[in-house]
Amino acid sequence: MATRQINARDLIFEVSDMDAVPTWTGVGGLLSGTVSYNENEEFADTTVWDSEGYYGQEKMQLGASLSLEGRFLQDPATGVRDPGQELVEAHAVLLGYDSQIDVRFRYPGSTTWKVWKATVSVGEQGGGLNDKASWNAEFVRCGAPSTEAVV
């Protein structure tokens, strides 16, 4: 089978309500989603005199982050927000163990989700005179990633 380029806009992101049997909710209004697999990596310097002037290192810690950017979504008549954005914002203000949320993502056609436990921070919202209001969030993976089958 031939491989082909995939549209970035087709990447699917969902967040969990963190119940024992989780309900997964998509995040609406997205304009971009970026996964970084080198966030929070740590290295140990292994350079010694015997290195003859050449630098050496070993990777000691893996890390990753996921950034979502989009438009703030709200029904102007009722004030009802996009359920995914609202769920992300609710977790962003929690502390300690409760501050971790499950997030998953995949491309259409994938048979598995990539699943992370992550903390989330909500960034700036708003814009200029002729802009639509922005919305963004950054997830930082906590612990090892996992996968689950697409059902």
**Average pLDDT of the chain, as a whole number:** 96
Distance, in Å, from the CA atom of 30 to the CA atom of 105, rounded to the nearest integer, reads 13
Average pLDDT in the 1-5 region? 86
Q: Which residue has the tokens 């992300």?
A: 88
Summarize the confidence of residues 36-44 as an average pLDDT: 95
pLDDT confidence tier of residue 1, bands split at 50, 70 and 90? confident
* Mean pLDDT (whole number) for 136-143: 98
87: pLDDT confidence band, cut at 50, 70 and 90?
very high
* pTM score: 0.91
Which domains does the chain show, CATH number per domain?
Answer: 8-46+55-149 (2.30.110)
Tens of pLDDT, residue by residue over 106-130, are 999 999 999 999 999 999 999 999 9
Q: Helix, strand, coil shares of the chain as percentages rounded to 5?
A: 15, 40, 45
Average pLDDT over every residue of 8-21? 95
What are the residue ranges of helices labelled H in 3-145? 83-92
Position 60 scores a pLDDT of 97
The pLDDT score that the predictor gives to residue 26 is 97
Structure tokens at 125: 């919202």
User: Containing H/E element for 113?
Assistant: strand 112-122
Q: Residue 15 carries which side chain, given as an amino acid letter?
A: V
pLDDT at position 102 over 90: yes
How does residue 36 score in pLDDT terms, banded at 50, 70 and 90?
very high
- Residue 46 backbone phi and psi in degrees, to 5: -110, 15
**Predicted local distance difference test score (pLDDT) of residue 27:** 97
